[in-house]
Amino acid sequence: MQDLLFDFIAKYVSLTEDEKNAIISLDTFRTFKKGVILLREGQNSNEAYFVLKGCIRAYYIIDGEEKTTAFYTEMDALTPPCVVNKTPSEYYISCIEDSIIIISNPEMEAEIFDKFPKFESLCRVLSEELLAKQQINFDEFKTSSPEQRYLNLLQSRPDLIQRVPQHQLASYLGIKPESLSRLRPRIMAKNKW
Amino acid sequence: MQDLLFDFIAKYVSLTEDEKNAIISLDTFRTFKKGVILLREGQNSNEAYFVLKGCIRAYYIIDGEEKTTAFYTEMDALTPPCVVNKTPSEYYISCIEDSIIIISNPEMEAEIFDKFPKFESLCRVLSEELLAKQQINFDEFKTSSPEQRYLNLLQSRPDLIQRVPQHQLASYLGIKPESLSRLRPRIMAKNKW
DNA sequence: CTCATTTCTTAACTTAAGTCAACGAGTCGT
DNA sequence: ACGACTCGTTGACTTAAGTTAAGAAATGAG
């Protein structure tokens, strides 16, 4: 199981056995059942997540309606804004599937960064990379129509369309479930003729 | 001028005179006239920007049309994805106003990080903070209508509405200039009655 | 100052997303 | 196996954004 993590890290830096053991000794691997809520609105959490297996989703409840804004799957990292800003969480995080997740907190990070500065460097690089990725994502979202966004998702994360319920996908695409339902036939019609 | 920068940094860490001098000696303060293009599509740049004064904007040209996706004003930092990914740039960056900007590159960063590890730590924190901010931004964008987005912007960055041309604001809000034009009177009508 | 260009607004029309409601299929708990 | 929910689809209607076009206002270059 840990190999998934170390293979991922190996793309950025090579770790000594000592360093790997330091990570393992933190003992932060957790498994959750589908449906478990990891974070609730209003909570003062300081947990960051790294998905080894499975899928979690972030969603707001606005006027009693769930608004799904993100899905995190294998090798995705998520530090909720409430952790960074030390404010109560504005949203929920729950497991869409049975999942294996690494949960860390700032104290653990500080400890590791202190012992192995290399990790802080790694985290800086990862976070800059994430930031760039998310910028591009946001840009694509802004510059395209719901239809294009769906086609885009079909290309970039085809798995999501399989593993995620439609109404969650819809708000992820910034539209209503009924609209998503109508999108599909419309696209088909275009490709046929 | 540099004080602007050091005041900003002081919110995160305190710097010694040595460290301040190290930054100043990099001699990366630049001034640009309104209209100057800092980065072009297709370019292989490795420059990151930090706006001390003025305003720059990022925009794509898609089907011959400008799509503005971001504005960076005082104390905003921007590392274009092309720098992180070492790929040709997908977008343009230009100065909307006469601006004073700090331009850095990965080599300079590496040098500074090596001499003063504190800076890498600072950059990690900054970038995590930025990531959180952008997540919230994206979430707000997804979960609201063009009208709400405009009202939102009016609240969170009222200066932008003054200093930026409407058609650029429009694509920033994910709509056409004509739609933005119609938004305003509609909102007024709602508030009046 | 003047002409050319860009920017903003307005209008008429088209298209697609939102809303409300109904219905069948699937899921869950008991 | 049953009924209660949830989920996805469909339909009719409303609303707002896209499109195309025209013209007024502001800006810039010479």
Q: Do A132 and B62 touch (CB under 8 A)?
A: no
Among candidates B58, B79, B143 on the partner chain, residue whose Cβ is nearest the Cβ of A60: B143
User: How much of chain A, in percent, has pLDDT values that exceed 90?
Assistant: 93
| Distance of B174 CA from D19 C1′ (whole Å) | 16
Pick from A129, A131, A134, A124: nearest CA to A69: A134
Q: Which of residues 81-140 of B touch A (CB under 8 A)?
A: 81, 84-85, 90-91, 113, 117, 120-121, 123-124, 127-139
| Distance of B178 CA from C13 C1′ (whole Å) | 14
| Distance of B158 CA from D17 C1′ (whole Å) | 24
B71: helix, strand or coil: strand
Nucleotides of D under 7 A from a protein CB: 7-12, 16-21
Q: Is the dihedral of CA A120, A123, A129, A135 positive or negative?
A: negative
Domain ranges of chain A: 2-116
- CB B175 under 7 Å to nucleic chain D: yes
Note the pLDDT of residue B188: 85
d(CA B160, CA A159): 39
Note the pLDDT of residue B192: 54
Q: Do A143 and B67 touch (CB under 8 A)?
A: yes
In CATH, what number does B2-115 get?
Answer: 2.60.120.10
Size of interface A-B (CB pairs under 8 A): 107
B126: helix, strand or coil: helix
Question: Looking at residues A156-179, what average pLDDT do you find?
Answer: 95
- For B21, the token pair is 């001098």
Query: Which residue of B115, B142, B175 to mutate against A (max A Cβ within 10 Å)?
Result: B142
- CB B147 under 7 Å to nucleic chain D: yes
CB A120 within 8 A of CB A110: no
CB A123 within 8 A of CB B124: yes
Smallest Cα distance from B31 to chain A, Å: 25
d(CA B23, CA B17): 10
- Calculate the alpha carbon distances from B58 to A57, A98, B114, B168, B172 in Å: 30, 40, 31, 10, 10
What 3 state SS string does chain A have?
CHHHHHHHHHCCCCCCHHHHHHHHHCCCEEEECCCCEEECCCCCCCCEEEEEECCEEEEEEECCEEEEEEEECCCCEECCHHHHHCCCCCCEEEECCCEEEEEECHHHHHHHHHHCHHHHHHHHHHHHHHHHHHHHHHHHHHCCCHHHHHHHHHHHCHHHHHHCCHHHHHHHCCCCHHHHHHHHHHHHHHHHC
Note the pLDDT of residue A1: 77
Smallest Cα distance from B27 to chain A, Å: 24
d(CA A37, CA A32): 9
- For B92, the token pair is 């343009």
Note the pLDDT of residue A123: 96
Structural domain A2-116, CATH architecture: Sandwich (2.60)
Question: Looking at residues A6-33, what average pLDDT do you find?
Answer: 93
Predicted confidence (pLDDT) per residue in A83-114, tens digit: 999 999 999 999 999 999 999 999 999 999 99
Q: Which residues of B touch A104 (CB under 8 A)?
A: none
Spell out where B42-186 has E strands: 48-53, 56-62, 65-72, 77-78, 92-95, 99-104
Residue by residue, pLDDT tens for chain B (193 residues) are 788 999 999 999 999 999 999 999 999 999 999 999 999 999 999 999 999 999 999 999 998 899 999 999 999 999 999 999 999 999 999 999 999 999 999 999 999 999 999 999 999 999 999 999 999 999 999 999 999 999 999 999 999 999 999 999 999 999 999 999 999 999 987 665 4
Q: Do A69 and B143 touch (CB under 8 A)?
A: yes
